[in-house]
Structure 1
């Protein structure tokens, strides 16, 4: 979705008839009030991933590492190769913290890691097909969990 596209149905949910009359679809750009521009980008995360993070045994640190990895993933057929040092700097943690999280996700079968030859050396890459498959498999559980969430104002 581009920054100026309208959200899919269900993203704006009026609570009363008066709200429905006043509710106008909001673009991502409008919602973030200038914090997201054409050049700044955004990360698309399925709400199911957020709902299933406990089932997937992802700690808050693992989730932030994963979101940083997903920020580079736009083509499902292509692996991404962000540096652990870049993610660690963004998060304000040690490089080793990022490496432990990615290793944990690889061992859990949530992401694939490969090493490719590039510029005379090896470069580590990540692919997220296993994660997408796992979330799709548990999508009904995600819907059940959604029904148990409390909605606050």
Structure 2
């Protein structure tokens, strides 16, 4: 089931407008979602969408970024696709495994998203972020 979908222009302002709408759609659909999960989703979406705008589309206002959020029990899939040339997954993985990378301005977002328990798949100019909600749903059901 698709929870949210939109195409946004390649600007940081567009990201700032879209992320609260996407987060609100998730919050409305998943009333059990904790503030921690919502914070992590907000952070992740900003990071991935900003990367698509900056590194994928190079702020080219003639190019758009597609953002789609889909729920397939028990996982949320965030598909972000830009109109750039794409990135090789090994380039990110190599940079994020460099001990110095966390001290650099770049490459911290990828590792932070992984630390927040998201899975990441990269397919050329599309990034798919996956969040398993089974534990969050179990906690909610046990408390309510």
- TM-score w.r.t. the length of structure 1 is 0.27
* Structure showing the higher helix proportion among its residues: 2
Larger RCO (CA under 8 A, 6+ residues apart): 2
In our comparison, the structure showing a higher alpha carbon Rg is 1
* Structure showing the higher strand proportion among its residues: 2
